[in-house]
Structure formats: structure tokens, C-alpha cells
Chain A
Amino acid sequence: EVQLVESGGGLVQPGGSLRLSCAASGFTFSSYWMHWVRQAPGKGLVWVSRISSDGGSTTYADSVKGRFTISRDNAKNTVYLQMNSLRVEDTAVYYCASGGSVRFFEYWGQGTLVTVSS
């Protein structure tokens, strides 16, 4: 059974940093692209970032470029999202997601809540 389990969310002040983790199991992690998708309270889904299976290629939404960094450790079956210079508008549930194709998100974690507030 495929499982994605996020952790690392919490309350942080504006300008602060947080690192999210997503531990994967039940599939060949090192063969899959991984993504982060976020959802602000009561709002829709927004794609944030993706990383290639070997970690050599990364892409970011314009809203987080230069502030967030996605990385992965294939030995630990884990993908990370380092979030710096956090803003109030970054408040959201952050989901990690993946799938057998880069076209869609077949597997999702349960999400971790990040709240940016003073």
C-alpha cells in the first residue's frame, strides 16, 4: 500500500523558516517525481514545487521561487520542502503528492498545516 506521510508543520512568525518532510512507502520512491501542493484555509489547490526522481531537476511556482527549496533523499525515501522568508499568505495545508506519471497526482499524503502568523 502506498503511503505518504508529511510532518514538520506548525506555527511560525512571518520571516521565519520551516522544513517539511514527506516519508514515502509502498512504491519505488527513487523512480518517481515528487511534488508539493498547498491549500490555504477554505481555498483551492495550488501546485508549489516538484523534483525529479534523481533530484537533478526542480521547479517552483512563481509565488515561492527563491524562498522555498525542494530536495529528496532516496536512501531515506523522503522528500523535503525547506521554506524560508515565510509570509502570512503561505499559510496552508501542504500535501506531498506523486504518481506513475508527471501528468497527474495519483498518490497524496494527509497534509501538514503551516500557519504563518505573529
Chain B
Amino acid sequence: DIQMTQSPSSLSASVGDRVTITCQASQDISNYLNWYQQKPGKAPKLLIYDASNLETGVPSRFSGSGSGRAFTFTISSLQPEDIATYYCQQYDDLPRYTFGQGTKLEIK
């Protein structure tokens, strides 16, 4: 099974800061990685698919990069509404899917 490890597990940043979250796969998964945002009490929302493609309607301050085993999710300028938990998810191991453990983002 492919394991996904996110870091950090939690993060505190100020409005306007650049925020970066990393996701490491236990083996090469090419670009088969997605990123989701989950606000408290809500369902997850797809932000980035195939490692770097922005989902329609998602603000351009969100971006993703990486391939192989190492991936990065970035918010270029943190906004108050970005407070949420972020998850990576791999689909190289179809028909099974694995999520990272999540990164909780808070405002400093």
C-alpha cells in the first residue's frame, strides 16, 4: 500500500503570508496526486488535481507542484477564509485511494 505523509501536521500563519504544505509518497506516484480543503463541519472540496491543475472556480492563490514522491501545495497570500484542514490524496494505487493525514492551518 502507498502511504502519504504530510508535513507539517499543523501550521499557524498570518494573513498575507505564503504558506507551503508538503506531501511525501512512500513510492513513485508520478503526478497522480490531488489536494483538498476541508473547513470545520463541511465536506472536503477539491482544489488541485493531477498535482498542479487548478479546479475550476478555485482562486489562483492556490497552487500545486511536484512529481514522483515529493509534492508541494502553496497558498501565495493567506486569506482568513483559507482556514481549514488540507489533505493530499494519491490515485496511483487504483482501484484504491489514500489520503494524507491532513494539515490543519490556523491564523496567527
Tell me the A residues contacting B by CB distance below 8 Å.
Answer: 35, 37, 44-47, 50, 59, 61, 95, 99, 101-106, 108-111
Contacts and interface: CB of A to CB of B under 8 A. Distances in A.
A46 to B, nearest CB: 7
Interface of B: 32, 34, 36, 38, 42-46, 49-50, 55, 87, 89, 91, 94-102
B102 A104 contact: no
Contact of A109 (B36, B43, B45, B91): B43
B96 A103 contact: no
Given A105-B46, A106-B46, A106-B55, A50 B95 contact: yes
Contacts, number: 53
Contacts of A108: 43-45
A114 B18 CA distance: 38
B91 A103 contact: yes
B87 A44 contact: yes
B99 A47 contact: yes
B43 A111 contact: yes
A5 B52 CA distance: 30
Contact of B43 (A35, A50, A104, A110): A110
